[in-house]
């Protein structure tokens, strides 16, 4: 299966992308057997003979993006004959901390984490690194003792998203940016990449423009503001509605987390401004892809969450087995982003369905997939509730 998967990814150059929930979060265990004993290469003992290794994959929330990553985790666990526990915190940094601590208490053989607030989670992550093999995925914590980061260059991907804005609005205009939260390093870099591309600045990932300021006034593209919703999907839509009302001449709305573009699309459609306000997105939410098919969304910059999951489990398994050669050079495994437009969305969506095990079928109407960031499957029960506002 492994070689078949890589062949599929190589042929189509996939870079699939996403950023709801039960009260206690989502925690799944894939694989058969009793799991691992307390141990790894960081000072404790490996799983006993006859026992499977157990590795953990911790996300930063519950969205369809992470359901795709979960599929990758499950595929790797099957290929490598290990157990994987996928934990999805519903309510932000506190829940993520609890889940990490619980996994450390269980004694997993390795852990991959997408840090919600890396600047304030360094101590927690270092504790994890002292007790198991720790890597980060999707969003990095470079100041921690993690062994590697698996993901894309978020600043570069942000500039790619900015290029889509230029295509959608070649004569220039005003732009609003929407994102879940800016505490995450990936969100900050992604947003800055969009801004720098629109303002034709030289690349500088260390640059940071504080939100709340109008950027590029008098230039071809003007970034009016950035709205954050803290993963509150109702607020995400309300923010989009407010921007449409506040800025009558708004030219383009950019959603940087998986659920943002479908919420923006809802707001634009309800305001009767389809085609008038351009929409550019990030990740491969089903509502976003359907919006591209329908011509209402210009394009989206996608990641590859399936491979984030697969590679995380593969690397953690090899590390637990004592193979450090699996670590990428420089500590960064780059899984590049890709821009999806109307001319390639069909091929991309079909391949996404293959990777996630979905039957081929005609894309559902966009409205069926925009109430929440859902997996491209027909609505799993655990995704029906919307999360609490303070995620």
Mean pLDDT value of segment 50-72: 93
* Same domain assignment for residues 352 and 204: yes
What's the structural domain count of the chain? 2
For β-strands 83-88 and 26-30, DSSP reports them as antiparallel
User: Could you tell me the residue range of the domain that residue 357 belongs to?
Assistant: 154-302+341-383
How much is the pLDDT for 30?
56
Would the pLDDT of 75 be above 80? yes
* Same domain assignment for residues 322 and 357: no
Residue 274: CATH number of its domain:
3.40.50.2300
How much is the pLDDT for 355?
85
Would the pLDDT of 3 be above 90? no
Nearest to 286 by CA among 179, 360, 375: 375
Query: 295-317: per-residue pLDDT in tens?
Result: 999 999 999 999 999 999 999 99
pLDDT band of residue 390 (cuts 50, 70, 90) is: very low
* Same domain assignment for residues 21 and 139: yes
What sign does the CA torsion over 208, 210, 216, 222 have? positive
How much is the pLDDT for 28?
62
* Same domain assignment for residues 132 and 191: no
Would the pLDDT of 17 be above 70? no
Instruction: Note the pTM of the prediction, 2 decimals.
Output: 0.78
- Does residue 5 lie in a domain region? no
- Does residue 258 lie in a domain region? yes
- Does residue 160 lie in a domain region? yes
* Same domain assignment for residues 125 and 59: yes
* Same domain assignment for residues 190 and 146: no
- Does residue 388 lie in a domain region? no
Would the pLDDT of 272 be above 60? yes
Query: 376-389: per-residue pLDDT in tens?
Result: 333 333 333 333 33
How much is the pLDDT for 49?
57
Query: 105-136: per-residue pLDDT in tens?
Result: 999 999 999 999 999 999 999 999 999 999 99
Cα(205)–Cα(107) distance, integer angstroms: 37
Terminal-residue alpha carbon distance, the chain: 37
What's the whole-number average pLDDT of the chain? Answer: 85
* Same domain assignment for residues 352 and 226: yes
Nearest to 367 by CA among 262, 270, 233, 264: 262
- Does residue 254 lie in a domain region? yes
CA distances from 247 to 169, 229, 242, 250 (A): 16, 19, 8, 5
């Amino acid at each position: 299966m492994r070689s078949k998967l890589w062949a599929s990814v190589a042929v189509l150059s996939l870079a699939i992308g996403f950023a709801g929930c039960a009260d206690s979060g989502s925690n799944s265990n894939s694989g058969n057997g009793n799991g691992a004993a307390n141990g790894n290469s960081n000072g404790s003992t490996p799983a006993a003979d006859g026992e499977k290794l157990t590795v953990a994959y911790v996300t930063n929330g519950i969205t369809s993006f992470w359901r795709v990553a979960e599929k990758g985790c499950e595929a790797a666990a099957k290929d490598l004959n290990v157990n994987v526990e996928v934990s999805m915190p519903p309510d932000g940094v506190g829940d993520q901390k609890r889940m990490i601590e619980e996994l450390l208490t269980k004694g997993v053989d390795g852990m991959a984490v997408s840090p919600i607030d890396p600047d304030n989670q360094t101590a927690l992550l270092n504790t994890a690194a002292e007790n198991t093999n720790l890597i980060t995925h999707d969003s990095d914590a470079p100041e921690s003792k993690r062994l590697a980061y698996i993901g894309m260059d978020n600043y570069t991907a942000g500039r790619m998203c900015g290029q889509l804005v230029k295509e959608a609005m070649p004569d220039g205009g005003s732009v609003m940016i929407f994102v879940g939260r800016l505490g995450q390093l990936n969100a900050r870099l992604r947003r800055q990449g969009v801004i720098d591309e629109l303002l034709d600045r030289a690349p500088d990932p260390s640059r940071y423009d504080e939100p709340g300021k109008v950027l590029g006034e008098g230039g071809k593209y003007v970034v009016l503001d950035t709205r954050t919703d803290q993963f509150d999907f109702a607020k995400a839509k309300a923010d989009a509605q407010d921007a449409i009302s506040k800025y009558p001449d708004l030219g383009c709305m950019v959603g940087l987390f998986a659920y943002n573009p479908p919420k923006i699309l809802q707001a634009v459609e309800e305001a009767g401004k389809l085609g008038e306000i351009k929409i550019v997105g990030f990740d491969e939410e089903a509502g976003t892809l359907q919006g591209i098919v329908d011509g209402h969304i210009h394009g989206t910059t996608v990641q590859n969450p399936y491979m984030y999951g697969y590679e995380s489990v593969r690397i953690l398994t090899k590390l637990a087995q004592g193979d450090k050669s699996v670590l990428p050079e420089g500590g960064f495994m780059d899984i590049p982003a890709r821009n999806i437009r109307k001319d390639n969305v069909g091929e991309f969506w079909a391949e996404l369905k293959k990777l996630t095990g979905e039957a081929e079928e005609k894309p559902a109407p966009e409205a069926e997939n925009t109430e929440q960031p859902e997996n491209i499957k027909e609505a799993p029960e655990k995704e029906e509730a919307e999360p609490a506002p303070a995620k």
